[in-house]
Amino acid sequence: MNEKFRSRIITSGDVSPDKKESIRRRHTDGPMYFESLDPSIAEAVDAHGLEILPEEIALIRFAEDVTNEAMRKAGVKPFEIPLNHYHVLPAEVYEKHFSGNATTYRYKWSESIFMNADSVNRKVLFGSITLHELMHVKSHRTLHVIATDTGLEINHRRDGVSVISNKAEEGEFFRGLHEAIVATQEKISFPDMLSIPEMKDDKNFWESSEAATYRQEMSEYTGVPADDFLWVQPVGDTGIEWRQFSYHHHREVLKFICEKIQETYSEYADWVGVYEEFRNAHFNGDLLKIARLVEDRFGKGSFRILGEMTNDDESAIQCLEKMKVLSGINVR
């Protein structure tokens, strides 16, 4: 099968075909396009970067395999990020430069993953966050190359399924769907991740009745569904620490849509089969098929409603209500 590159280049003004091809290659062919880091970030990495442990390298390999397999299914040429583009920084250093648990970082042509050491201090968290960020790193890109008086200006127009308007005030569409696709893969791949040899202890604990009891108790306490915990473990004498798969509300929207579509189209054995159509779009950038599936099931204009979902929880909750109304289910 002829695999496509993950990047597409559109141009304005005088951009030669050779230049266009060289940009596409630098942005597509893997290590070639990974260059240096921003000097202040490079300094932080040099001074404070923590060693990536052997079992973490195994989890990186797992995430690379999952994403490359998904890219192949989407008809896209896979690539790998060099190991030295994965960075774990102590929390106080990480928080000076980035926010949250982890960041997919772009600088010029370089692309790397930065993780907050406090957020990945368990193998299971490291593995899940790595897979999440790698889904972002390898997503489809459309780059708009504009010839200006001072040289070439390069803007992202598409990132996975996200559409970035060239009018700043319009912002980005489909960002919420983008995160839903990424986070759903995190959850789907979890049992396979636990099955790699380096995760044997975690798997044993996860499958124990002790862990099941913790999940049940914490589910009652927090309202998080018991099967949505990524990790629950007692800490010290009284505390229990827990973590949920990311973007719960966004995943609910995507799962609901996939289930409704699956009811209509017999070619899909289950909702995951429909999910894979969305994941294909994340990697190959082709929105037509998912737009048609959504609009055929939920009506004209429904794909645009899905596009308005941002990465904010409240936006996902509202989007689910709207999609339920459109699907014919009564909501209170």
Q: Which is nearer to Zn ion, 159 or 179 (CB)?
A: 179
Report in angstroms how near the CB of residue 269 gets to Zn ion at its nearest.
28
> Which one of the spans 9-17, 94-102, 175-183, 321-329 is the region binding Zn ion (CB under 5 A)?
175-183
CA angle 185, 58, 214 (to 5 degrees): 60
Using alpha carbons, list the distances in angstroms from residue 177 to 63, 190, 220: 21, 20, 28
| Cβ atoms of 116 and 89 closer than 8 Å | yes
Q: How many residues make up the chain in this entry? A: 332
Q: Which is nearer to Zn ion, 55 or 172 (CB)?
A: 172
DSSP conformation letters of 21-38: HHHHHHTTSGGGG--PPP
Q: Position 57: which residue type?
A: I
Task: Count residues near Zn ion (CB under 5 A).
Answer: 1
Q: Which is nearer to Zn ion, 4 or 178 (CB)?
A: 178
Structure tokens at 282: 């994340």
Report in angstroms how near the CB of residue 178 gets to Zn ion at its nearest.
8
Q: Which is nearer to Zn ion, 111 or 179 (CB)?
A: 179
Report in angstroms how near the CB of residue 185 gets to Zn ion at its nearest.
11
Residue 44 and residue 116: Cα distance in Å, rounded? 13
> Which one of the spans 14-22, 177-185, 273-281, 313-321 is the region binding Zn ion (CB under 5 A)?
177-185
Q: Which is nearer to Zn ion, 298 or 307 (CB)?
A: 307
Residue 3 and residue 24: Cα distance in Å, rounded? 15
Residue 126 and residue 128: Cα distance in Å, rounded? 6
Report in angstroms how near the CB of residue 132 gets to Zn ion at its nearest.
6
Burial class for 191, CB neighbours closer than 10 Å (0-12, 13-18, 19+):
exposed
Q: Which is nearer to Zn ion, 7 or 184 (CB)?
A: 184
> Which one of the spans 179-187, 201-209, 213-221, 264-272 is the region binding Zn ion (CB under 5 A)?
179-187
> Which one of the spans 40-48, 171-179, 201-209, 281-289 is the region binding Zn ion (CB under 5 A)?
171-179
Site residues (vs Zn ion, CB under 5 A): 179
